[in-house]
Amino acid sequence: MADAAHASAAPVAHQFDDFEQQTIADTFGMWLFLATEVLFFGGLFCGYSLYRNLYFEAFTAGSHLLKINYGAFYTVLLICSSLTMALGVRAAQLRRRTALMVLVSLTWIMGFAFVFVKLRYEWYGDYLEGLVPGLNWAPSRESMEMINHFHAAGPHVALFFIFYFCMTGLHALHMVVGLGLLTTLLIFAKQGKVTGGNYNWVELVGLYWHFVDIVWIFLFPLLYLIGGRYV
Amino acid sequence: MSEHVLPKKLYFMVFLALVVLTAITTGVAFIDLGPFNTVVALVIAVIKGSLVVLFFMHLKYQTGMTRVVILAALLWLAVLIGITMSDVFTRHWTEKGKAWQQSSIISPDSVTRSTVFWLPDRA
Amino acid sequence: MSTVAVELTPTLPEVHYLNADYGWRSWLFTTDHKRIAWLYLFAITGFFAVGGLMATLMRLNLIEPQGLLMEPASYNKLFTAHGLIMIFFFLAPSIPTVLGNFLIPIMIGARDVAFPKLNLLSWYIFMLAGSVFMFSVIRGGVDTGWTLYTPLSTTYANGHVLSAAVGIFISGFSSILTGLNFMVTIHKMRAPGMTWFRLPLFIWALYATSVIFILAMPVIAITLALIALERVFHVGIFDPALGGDPILFQHLFWFFGHPEVYILILPSMGVMSELVAAGCRKRIFGYSFVAFSSVAIAAISFMVWGHHMFLSGQSLYAGFVFSALSFAVAIPSAIKVFNWTATMHKGSVSYDAPMLYAIGFIGLFTIGGLTGLFLASLGTDVHLHDTYFVVAHFHYVMVGGAIMGYLGGLHLWWPKMTGKLYPEAWARFACLLVFAGFNLTFGPQFILGYLGMPRRYAVYAPEFQVLNVMSSAGASILAVGYLIPLIYFTWSAFKGPVAGPNPWGAKGLEWTIPSPPPTNNFDETPIVTEAYAYGPEEAHVG
Amino acid sequence: MLCSFPLKPPEASTLSVEWDYLYYFLTALTIFFSGLIFAAVFYFAIKYRRREKNEVPPQNEGNLMLELTWTIIPSLICVFIFVWSAHVFMRASSPPANATEIFVVGKQWMWKVQHPEGPREINQLHVPVNEPVRLTMTSEDVIHDFGVPAFRIKRDVVPGMYSTEWFEATKTGQYHLFCDQFCGMGHSTMVGTIFVMSPEDYAHWLTSQLNTKPMFASGELLYTQLGCNTCHTPDGKPGVPPLAGLYGSEVKLQNGKTVTADDAYLRESILGPESIVGYPPTMPTYQGQLNEEEVLQLIAYIKSLGSPGERKATKQ
Q: Is C3 helix (H, G, I), strand (E, B) or coil?
A: strand
For residue A3, pLDDT over 70 is answered with: no
Q: Does C15 map to a domain? A: no
For residue B101, pLDDT over 80 is answered with: no
Min Cα separation C239/chain A (Å): 11
Give per-residue pLDDT as tens, C108-135.
999 999 999 999 999 999 999 999 999 9
Q: What average pLDDT score do residues C187-192 get?
A: 92
What is the tally of structural domains in chain C? 1
Q: Does B30 map to a domain? A: yes
ipTM of the complex: 0.89
pLDDT above 90 covers a percentage of chain B that reads 43
Which DSSP helix (H) or strand (E) runs through A83? helix A68-93
The pLDDT of residue B107 is: 36
Q: Does C233 map to a domain? A: yes
Q: C492 near C420, Cβ under 8 Å?
A: yes
The pLDDT of residue C110 is: 93
Instruction: Say how far apart CA C314 and CA D156 lie, in whole Å.
Output: 10
Residue numbers of the domain that contains B52: 1-62
User: Across the interface, do B110 and D276 touch by the CB < 8 Å criterion?
Assistant: yes
Residues of chain D contacting residue C385, judged by C-beta atoms under 8 Å apart: 154, 180
Q: What average pLDDT score do residues C492-515 get?
A: 91
Instruction: Say how far apart CA A224 and CA B40 lie, in whole Å.
Output: 14
For residue C29, pLDDT over 50 is answered with: yes
Q: Does B50 map to a domain? A: yes
Most confident residue range from C174-183, D59-68, D219-228: C174-183
Among residues C268, C291, C295, C336, the alpha carbon closest in space to that of C200 is found at C291
Strand partners of residue D163: B100, D137
Same domain assignment for residues B52 and B92? no
Give per-residue pLDDT as tens, C57-91.
999 999 999 999 999 999 999 999 999 999 999 99
Give per-residue pLDDT as tens, C129-181.
999 999 999 998 899 999 999 899 998 888 899 999 999 999 999 999 999 99
Q: Does B33 map to a domain? A: yes
Q: In this structure, which amino acid lies at residue C456?
A: R
For residue C493, pLDDT over 50 is answered with: yes
Same domain assignment for residues B78 and B58? no
Rounded mean pLDDT of chain D?
84
Alpha-helical segments (H) within C345-423 = 353-376, 378-384, 388-397, 404-418
Q: Does C413 map to a domain? A: yes
What is the tally of structural domains in chain B? 2
Min Cα separation B99/chain A (Å): 21
CB of B112 within 8 Å of a chain D CB? The answer is: yes
Q: What average pLDDT score do residues B5-22 get?
A: 93
Q: Does A34 map to a domain? A: yes
Cis peptide before D109 (omega within 30 of 0): yes
The pLDDT of residue D245 is: 75
Q: Does B11 map to a domain? A: yes
The pLDDT of residue C536 is: 64
Q: Does A5 map to a domain? A: no
For residue D225, pLDDT over 60 is answered with: yes
The full set of domains in chain D, from first to last, is 8-37+72-211 (2.60.40.420), 215-314 (1.10.760.10)
Same domain assignment for residues B11 and B46? yes
pLDDT above 90 covers a percentage of chain D that reads 49
CB of D199 within 8 Å of a chain C CB? The answer is: no
Q: What are phi and psi of C457, to 5 degrees?
A: -100, 120
Give per-residue pLDDT as tens, C257-268.
999 999 999 999
Give per-residue pLDDT as tens, A133-168.
888 888 888 888 888 888 777 788 999 999 999 999
Q: What average pLDDT score do residues A44-69 get?
A: 90
For residue C352, pLDDT over 60 is answered with: yes
Burial class (CB in 10 A: 0-12, 13-18, 19+), A53: middle
The pLDDT of residue D139 is: 92
CB of C229 within 8 Å of a chain A CB? The answer is: yes
For residue A190, pLDDT over 70 is answered with: yes
Same domain assignment for residues B46 and B67? no
Q: What average pLDDT score do residues D171-192 get?
A: 94
Q: Does A13 map to a domain? A: no
- Neighboring chains of A (3 or more beta-carbon pairs < 8 A): B, C, D
Instruction: Say how far apart CA C43 and CA C178 lie, in whole Å.
Output: 15
CATH label of the domain that carries residue C361: 1.20.210.10
For residue C342, pLDDT over 60 is answered with: yes
Same domain assignment for residues B25 and B81? no
User: Across the interface, do A158 and C222 touch by the CB < 8 Å criterion?
Assistant: no
The pLDDT of residue A174 is: 97
CB of C247 within 8 Å of a chain A CB? The answer is: no
For residue D109, pLDDT over 50 is answered with: yes
Q: Does B3 map to a domain? A: yes
Instruction: Say how far apart CA B109 and CA B111 lie, in whole Å.
Output: 5
Rounded mean pLDDT of chain C?
92
| D303 or D82, greater pLDDT | D82
Same domain assignment for residues B76 and B41? no
Question: Sorting pLDDT into bands at 50, 70 and 90, what band is C537?
Answer: low
For residue C202, pLDDT over 80 is answered with: yes
Instruction: Say how far apart CA D202 and CA D129 lie, in whole Å.
Output: 9
Q: Does C30 map to a domain? A: no
Residue numbers of the domain that contains C306: 35-540
Pick from A49, A83, A224: which is nearest to B15 by CB? A83
Q: Does B121 map to a domain? A: no
Q: B74 near A38, Cβ under 8 Å?
A: yes
Instruction: Say how far apart CA D60 and CA A18 lie, in whole Å.
Output: 38
CB of A211 within 8 Å of a chain C CB? The answer is: no
Q: Is B76 helix (H, G, I), strand (E, B) or coil?
A: helix
Same domain assignment for residues B14 and B32? yes
Give per-residue pLDDT as tens, C420-434.
999 999 999 999 999
CB of A152 within 8 Å of a chain D CB? The answer is: yes
CB of B116 within 8 Å of a chain D CB? The answer is: yes
Residue numbers of the domain that contains A146: 18-225
CA distances from D301 to B12, B80, B116 (A): 70, 42, 22
Question: Sorting pLDDT into bands at 50, 70 and 90, what band is D309?
Answer: low
Q: Does A7 map to a domain? A: no
CATH label of the domain that carries residue A92: 1.20.120.80
Q: Does A231 map to a domain? A: no
Among residues D141, D137, D144, D129, the alpha carbon closest in space to that of D194 is found at D129
Cis peptide before C151 (omega within 30 of 0): yes
Give per-residue pLDDT as tens, D64-82.
999 999 999 999 999 999 9
Instruction: Say how far apart CA D222 and CA D227 lie, in whole Å.
Output: 8
Among residues C192, C222, C362, the alpha carbon closest in space to that of C279 is found at C362
Give per-residue pLDDT as tens, B19-70.
999 999 999 888 888 778 888 999 999 999 999 999 999 888 887 888 999 9
For an interface test with C, the pick among A39, A131, A166, A208 (most C C-beta atoms closer than 10 Å) comes out as A39
Residues of chain D contacting residue C66, judged by C-beta atoms under 8 Å apart: none
Same domain assignment for residues B7 and B39? yes
Q: Does B17 map to a domain? A: yes
Give per-residue pLDDT as tens, C281-337.
999 999 999 999 999 999 999 999 999 999 998 888 899 999 999 999 999 999 999
Residues of chain C contacting residue D74, judged by C-beta atoms under 8 Å apart: 330-331, 334
Give per-residue pLDDT as tens, A101-111.
999 999 999 99
Min Cα separation C450/chain A (Å): 36
Pairing state between β D124-128 and D192-197:
parallel
Among residues C531, C440, C467, C494, the alpha carbon closest in space to that of C190 is found at C531
Same domain assignment for residues B3 and B43? yes
Strand partners of residue A219: none
Give per-residue pLDDT as tens, A16-35.
888 888 989 999 999 999 99
- The DSSP code for A18 is S
Q: Does C448 map to a domain? A: yes
The pLDDT of residue C411 is: 96
Q: Does C19 map to a domain? A: no
Q: Does C25 map to a domain? A: no
User: Across the interface, do C246 and D7 touch by the CB < 8 Å criterion?
Assistant: no
Q: Does B115 map to a domain? A: no
What is the tally of structural domains in chain A? 1
